[in-house]
Structure formats: structure tokens, C-alpha cells
Amino acid sequence: MPGIEALLQASCATTGTETAKARRNTDRTGKYFCEPIKTHMATPRKLRQKIFLKTFSKNVTFYPSQCHMYSARENTLDTTTERSNTMQLQTSSTPLLTAAKLTELAALGRNRISQIYLHWTAGRYGQLYDDYHFNIDADGSIYQTCTQLTELKSHTWHRNTGAIGIALCCGLGALPHNGTDTEFGSYPPTPQQIDAAGKLVAALAQGLNLPIDRWTVLTHCEAALIDGYGPYSGDAETRWDLWYLRDSPGDGLMKPGGQVIRGKALWYAKSSPLV
């Protein structure tokens, strides 16, 4: 019966052709810190749902896609649509993820990882960033940008401890509008990236013994909605990564991004369970 090898076969067979991405938080000295005390899990579910619904109560002006740290200037948004080269990696020097390596990483991370967060880099194809444990390029190639799954990466505000960050290398210049009519720009998420993300989530969830549900596997947009800085929150530092995606391969319709990737992950997990 096939296992991780089967789940990653298509992605690992190819050879491949935010800056800390936490919301800004400062201490009294004005210094950045990317991992405040993790309090969101202590929030009662009803309150989290209330926050989630409250985010749809008012409109907000969206800025171009920016999945990285804001300008250090007080109350000023760095509106450039081009990501800084800080923390950018080269594909030529970054290893592709292999099934054997993923099995090893999962074995070492079991009982130490509780959540998986899905992002995009807000960059171009072929641009990898060290904010994440894995980067997925346009052709579906999965790059390993961590030495272990427990390595602390700055990908999701308040949610980095015990969490894995996965990013699709895309999204530069995207505009969300109302979600279903997102303009993805010149670097949209590709069907190969979306499919590879589903396979990777399935393999990680099985290797780490995690459920594939909306409380364990979330897009950055979903986490931001729960924590009060997602679409329609009015927050000046709104995050909306993978808010909506085309279900492709699939029916091609625009659907909530988390639903699309979790659905594919569930299908792959059931089709190729671990031995």
C-alpha cells in the first residue's frame, strides 16, 4: 500500500525551475518580536467564531498583496508590491523535498507539531523565502527550507510555535476585491502548486498524526479572520493569503482557499494512506 512516497511522487519527480511575515508587534523599545505568547488557543471557540463573523461587518481598503513585514516607520504601510530580497533563497542551492526526507522530518516532529498554515509568498515564481518550512514553485516542485519541522519560522502572527508554514511561490501584485473576484496578477497560484500543497498537507498530516480540518490546517487568511486582522476587519495590516482559489485541477470554480487545499489533502490521504 503506497505511503508518503506515493503522495509526493508527482511533486518530487520534477526538478524545479513575510522578511519575517508576522504582523507588526513592538515591545516598549520599539523592537520587533515575531512570536508573542501563543494565546489564541486559549480563546473559547464561541468567541473565536464571534470574532470571525465580526470581521465581515465593515469594509476595508485592501493594499496590493504583501505577505511580509511592514515598514518600521510608525503607523506607515510599506506599499511596495515587490518583496525585499531579505531572507530570499536561491532555487539552485535549496534542496527539493524527497519522500525519504519528509518521512524523517515527520518522525522527528511527531507530537511536537500541532498546526499547519498555508500562505503565498506575494512574490514571483522561482522566488523562495526562508519565512516558511516549505516553498512550492509554479511547477509543483516542493523546496525544503528548514532543517527540522520544529524550526521556528515567522510566517503567521501569534501562531508560529509548534506550527509548519507552507508557501506557494506566487501572488505578486494580486488584489482581493471581494474574494471571489480576486485578481491574481501575473503570478497566480498554478494548478500544480495547489495540487502539490494538497499532497504535502496529506503527507504531513499522516506523518505527524494530525487531522485535516479547518482548526488544524488553515490558510493565513483563515487564521487572520479568527485573530481579527483578516478581510473586512478594518485592520491596517490585513492579511488575506489564499482567501479564494480556483479549484484546479477540479471544476475550476473560485472557492475558499482552505477548503480547496484541505479537500485535496483529504482525497490524497484516503487514496494513499500510510502503511
Distance between CA atoms of residues 151 and 108, nearest Å: 11
Q: Which residues contact 115 (CB under 8 A, 6 or more apart)?
A: 159, 162, 163, 164, 210, 216, 217, 218
Distance between CA atoms of residues 261 and 236, nearest Å: 27
What is residue 74's predicted lDDT score, i.e. its pLDDT? Answer: 28
Q: Which of 71-85, 176-190, 259-273 has the lowest mean pLDDT?
A: 71-85
| Tens-digit pLDDT profile for residues 213-260 | 999 999 999 999 988 988 888 887 889 899 999 998 778 899 999 999
- C-beta separation of 165 from 234 below 8 A: no
What is residue 37's predicted lDDT score, i.e. its pLDDT? Answer: 28
Distance between CA atoms of residues 212 and 243, nearest Å: 18
Region for 229 from its dihedrals, namely left if φ exceeds 0, alpha if ψ lies in -120 to 50, beta otherwise: alpha
3-state secondary structure of 67: coil
What is residue 86's predicted lDDT score, i.e. its pLDDT? Answer: 54
| Tens-digit pLDDT profile for residues 16-69 | 333 333 333 322 222 222 333 233 333 343 344 444 444 333 333 333 444 543
